[in-house]
Amino acid sequence: MRQLADNFWTFRGDFKIAKVISVGTHMSLARRANGRFLLLDSYELDESDRNSLLALTDGGQAIEAIINVHPFHTLHCTAVHRLLPHARLIGTGRHHRKAPELPWEQGIIEDKATQAQFAEDLDFSVPAGVDLVCANENVHFSSVLVRHRESGIVHVDDTIMVLAAPGLLGKLLPQSRLRFHPTLAKALQDRPDASDDFEKWARDIADRWAGTPIVCAAHSSVRKLSPGGWRKEILDALSGVEKTLARHRAARR
């Protein structure tokens, strides 16, 4: 459990592909203006982090809701619900389908009406021009991005990545700048203006969230940004996928 701002904490976890390659995962904790807490995503904590979380949140009773924002991050939802059975359990439509035995609230987090319940403390953004859940379930590009309004910290799964070397090398080698997940080409919707919609969305969050000081990215790292760094790095990431967007446009004319 690592505190990044007065009212924002991150948990970095372990997730292995084929039980061998660790790609990591994460969960964030934000304190609301009313003093209560929100968990972003789900991760089954080790004893040390679990004790730290419970100590900070009155044994977990001060945690109001668990908000799962990536449709494919479902593995730890049951464990976190068991730890905090009183907390409101909110997810995407895919969470409802994959774990129907859990007591999900009816409203799903990709819908603006559900997001509005947390508007005092959180901003949300769903990428345009791509499917939140693709027909090909190996494509995990899209998610619901979250920005903690007080601190400006962004919590994001997959959609925006930070590449960092594993283990001790990560402390020695520089992180990458922000970049979009490499499955963008497969995630774009099959319509002529999907690339344009995605580009408009990226430029919009580059501007609206320009003051972002830190990005918590799943499977990779926490990236601290210099002033103006968010806008520059998002626009640079967009430049990095220009060919992908152009090919998509050309194929559907």
Provide the strand spans (E) within the chain: 2-5, 8-13, 16-17, 21-22, 25-31, 37-40, 63-67, 88-90, 122-125, 145-148, 154-156, 160-161, 179-180, 214-217, 222-224
Per residue in 215-235, pLDDT tens? 998 655 789 999 999 999 999
Residue in the structure block whose two tokens are 């969230």: 209
Position 69 scores a pLDDT of 95
Query: Is pLDDT of 99 > 70?
Result: yes
Query: Can you give the pLDDT at residue 37?
Result: 98
Assigned token pair, 7? 């009212």
Which amino acid is located at 198 in the chain?
A: F
- Tell me the mean pLDDT in the region 205-217: 96
How confident is the model at residue 17, as a pLDDT? 41
Are 109 and 92 contacting, i.e. CB atoms less than 8 angstroms apart?
yes
Distance CA 102, CA 51 (A): 24
pTM, two decimals, is: 0.89
How do the domains of the chain map onto residue ranges? 2-251
pLDDT of residue 176: 72
More confident site: 163 or 175: 163
- Has residue 180 got a pLDDT over 90? yes
pLDDT in tens, 114-123: 999 999 999 9
DSSP code, position 157: S
How distant is the alpha carbon of residue 132 from its chain centre? 13
In this structure, whether the domain defined by 2-251 belongs to CATH 3.60.15.10 is answered with yes
- 181: which 2 tokens? 């997940």
DSSP state of 251: H
State the pLDDT confidence band at 32, using cuts at 50, 70 and 90. Answer: very high
pLDDT digits 0-9 by tens, 132-150? 998 898 888 899 999 999 9
At residue 139, what is the residue type?
A: V
Instruction: Please give the Cα distance from 173 to 79 (Å, whole number).
Output: 34
Helix axes 194-208, 242-251, angle to 10 degrees: 150
Lowest mean pLDDT among 10-14, 43-47, 133-137, 180-184: 10-14
pLDDT > 60? residue 24:
no
Task: State residue 22's pLDDT score.
Answer: 45
d(CA 246, CA 85): 47
Between 77-86, 118-127, 175-184, 193-202, the lowest mean confidence (pLDDT) is in 175-184
Q: Is the pLDDT of residue 253 over 90?
A: no
pLDDT for 85 equals: 97
